[in-house]
């Protein structure tokens, strides 16, 4: 089932999303989180950190899995998703670093790295709550549109649109954005007990409509969430503009 919640502003939407995570954490202090990156979720993490500071979100027993990583970036690269999550989230909460899992962007073998990550997620009991953003082409984590989406963690070729959308962190040139990324696949996302997708801004209105009102198709990876039993979509008014009433 999909529950859609709309707030007037992006700040209000990301606060609602953070509140839902804090609530899930109170229900299950050992919550296993899937954690996304992107401009949208900067405000979400800030709100979550606020809740933590106010004593309303305790991550002491929680576990985190970063959902994706650019391929070819070392662990110290400041554009890496590992660095993003460290900066916006892990540095400010009490989630033990031994349970903050990330994909390496420069493994000796991406297949072994992907298999290691899938084993880790399985050993943790799978994702309890997978938080997602959405790309303008409907990608979730880095699962790009395709006829058949892949289940396991894998290496994905990024579309020019996705590389353009990520260019700011690489000095503005899309050609400087890595062409490939490691990402969890649909198994981890659809296997999560709950999914929380956050989208804000006018640029997401079209894809939100296609993902949740259109057919389920690999061409719009987020549309696969229509098959999940428990999805909450939190939007600001701009991103919800094409959903009707
Ligand atoms: C990247 C991430 C996605 C995220 C997307 C949205 O591509 N891999 O997981 O959903 O960004 O980014 P933004 O919020 O900046 O639009």
Q: Which atom of ligand 1 is nearest to the CA of 68?
A: 8
Q: What confidence category does residue 107 fall into, taking pLDDT thresholds of 50, 70 and 90?
A: very high
Q: What is the mean pLDDT of residues 95-113?
A: 98
Name the residue among 228, 217, 67, 225 with its Cα closest to residue 149: 217
Q: Residue 76 pLDDT > 80, yes or no?
A: yes
**For the packed helices 10-27 and 40-53, what is the interaxial angle rounded to 10 degrees?**
50
At residue 126's C-alpha, the angle toward residues 27 and 96, to 5°, is 65
Q: Is residue 238 part of a domain?
A: no
Q: What is the mean pLDDT of residues 3-25?
A: 98
Q: Residue 155 pLDDT > 80, yes or no?
A: yes
Q: Is residue 241 part of a domain?
A: no
Is 137 part of the annotated catalytic residue set? yes
Q: Is residue 240 part of a domain?
A: no
Q: Residue 53 pLDDT > 80, yes or no?
A: yes
Q: Which of 1-10, 50-59, 236-245 has the lowest mean pLDDT?
A: 236-245
Is 68 part of the annotated catalytic residue set? yes
**pLDDT of the residue at 244:** 77
Beta bridge partners of 101: 65
User: Structurally, how many domains does the chain consist of?
Assistant: 1
Q: Residue 75 pLDDT > 80, yes or no?
A: no
Which residue range(s) make up the domain with 87?
Answer: 2-231
The tokens for 181 are 């990324």
Q: Is residue 222 part of a domain?
A: yes
Q: Is residue 173 part of a domain?
A: yes
**Distance separating alpha carbons of residues 117 and 4, to the nearest angstrom:** 31
Q: What is the mean pLDDT of residues 77-102?
A: 97
**Distance separating alpha carbons of residues 143 and 238, to the nearest angstrom:** 24
Helical (H) or strand (E) element with 117: helix 110-123
Q: What percent of the chain has pLDDT over 70?
A: 100
Q: What is the mean pLDDT of residues 196-211?
A: 98
**β-pairing, 194-199 with 129-132?**
parallel
User: Are residues 148 and 216 in contact, defined by beta-carbon separation less than 8 angstroms?
Assistant: no
Distance 16 CA to ligand 1 centre (A): 19
Q: Residue 245 pLDDT > 80, yes or no?
A: no
CATH number at residue 159: 3.40.50.1360
At 143, give phi and psi (nearest 5°).
-80, 100
Alpha helices in 166-217 (DSSP H): 186-191, 205-213
User: Are residues 213 and 243 in contact, defined by beta-carbon separation less than 8 angstroms?
Assistant: yes
Q: What confidence category does residue 231 fall into, taking pLDDT thresholds of 50, 70 and 90?
A: very high
Q: Of residues 69, 113, 118, 144, which has the active-site annotation?
A: 144
| 133 within ligand 1 shell (Cβ under 6 A) | yes
| 221 within ligand 1 shell (Cβ under 6 A) | no
Name the residue among 197, 198, 200 with its Cα closest to residue 10: 200
- Tell me 148's DSSP state: S
At 243, give phi and psi (nearest 5°).
-85, -15
**β-pairing, 100-101 with 63-66?**
parallel
Q: Is residue 15 part of a domain?
A: yes
**Distance separating alpha carbons of residues 139 and 183, to the nearest angstrom:** 11
Q: Of residues 52, 66, 68, 156, which has the active-site annotation?
A: 68
Q: Is residue 29 part of a domain?
A: yes
């Amino acid at each position: 089932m999909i529950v859609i919640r709309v707030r007037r502003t992006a700040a209000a939407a990301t606060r609602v999303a953070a509140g839902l995570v804090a609530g899930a954490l109170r229900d299950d202090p050992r919550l296993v989180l899937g954690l996304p990156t992107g401009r949208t979720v900067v405000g979400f993490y800030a709100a979550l950190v606020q809740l933590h500071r106010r004593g309303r979100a305790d991550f002491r027993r929680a576990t985190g899995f970063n959902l994706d990583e650019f391929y070819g970036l070392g662990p110290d690269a400041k554009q890496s998703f590992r660095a993003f999550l460290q900066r916006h989230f892990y540095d400010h909460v009490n989630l033990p670093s031994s349970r903050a899992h990330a994909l390496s962007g420069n493994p000796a073998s991406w297949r072994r790295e992907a298999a290691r990550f899938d084993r880790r997620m399985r050993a943790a009991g799978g994702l309890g709550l997978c938080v997602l953003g959405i790309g303008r082409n409907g990608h979730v984590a880095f699962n790009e549109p395709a006829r058949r989406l892949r289940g396991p963690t894998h290496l994905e070729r990024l579309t020019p649109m996705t590389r353009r959308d990520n260019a700011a962190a690489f000095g503005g040139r899309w050609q400087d954005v890595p062409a490939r990324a490691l990402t969890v696949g649909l198994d981890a996302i659809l296997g999560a007990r709950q999914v929380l997708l956050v989208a804000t801004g006018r640029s997401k209105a079209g894809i939100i409509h296609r993902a949740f009102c259109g057919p389920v198709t690999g061409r719009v990876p987020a549309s696969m969430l229509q098959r999940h039993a428990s999805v909450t979509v939190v939007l600001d008014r701009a991103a919800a503009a094409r959903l009707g009433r």
